[in-house]
Amino acid sequence: MEEYLIYFGGAPCGSLRMEKKGLYTHFSACCGARQGRIYSLVLEGERGEMPLGVPEWQDGCFVLQRTLANHAWSGIGTVQRVSLYVRSAAESGDAAPEEAAEEGWILLRHPEYFFRTFSPQLSGVPDCYWKPEGSGRSLAVPIDDGRPFLLPRYFCFARIERLWGKAYAVFVFDEAGQPILP
């Protein structure tokens, strides 16, 4: 097992553990940074860089757990540094429509992974958005009169709002991922 410091703005802010097991490597990161922002964790090697992903806020720090095939990341060469960068929605192409910029909504490209467990009912649903909400986060799911409510389990936690001229079911979740009544 190898361990590296994670740097943010030139200062150490956490650590990344890499554990190689056969054809795969498991990455486990925990780092401290300001809540309410989206960050990207990047491996920097002698021959290039590779984004590892977007860490999630859990238990007081940003956490990322990921397993990759060795050939998927070994092209960067020997790891020399691990960095945490602020990732703006505009940079990532995930920004909501322009009129939503002040509202802070960010497009979810894969809403089925919003929850800790896979949510197949959200698979392939376009126009789902999320945003940080205090120490938790909010989810906006489009409502279409022609199909069933997508998250029946959370039906009584929904607040109906019009965003960008469409009806959305908006849910608020605490830092543990539990729904909060509107």
pLDDT tens across the length of the chain (182 residues): 999 999 887 788 889 999 999 999 999 999 887 777 788 899 999 998 888 988 988 877 889 999 999 998 988 999 999 999 887 544 445 555 555 444 778 877 777 777 766 677 887 787 888 888 777 888 899 887 677 888 888 889 999 998 888 889 999 988 888 899 88
The pair of three-digit structure tokens given for residue 85, joined into one six-digit string: 């960068």
Which H or E element spans position 19? strand 11-21
| Residue 165 burial by Cβ neighbours in a 10 Å radius (0-12, 13-18, 19+) | exposed
What pTM was estimated for this model as a whole? 0.51
**CA distances to 16, 29, 32 from 65, in Å:** 10, 7, 15
- pLDDT recorded at residue 83: 92
Start-end ranges of CATH 2.60.40 in the chain?
A: 2-87
From the candidate CATH numbers 2.60.40, 1.20.272, 3.30.519, 1.20.120, the one assigned to the domain spanning 2-87: 2.60.40
d(CA 72, CA 69): 5
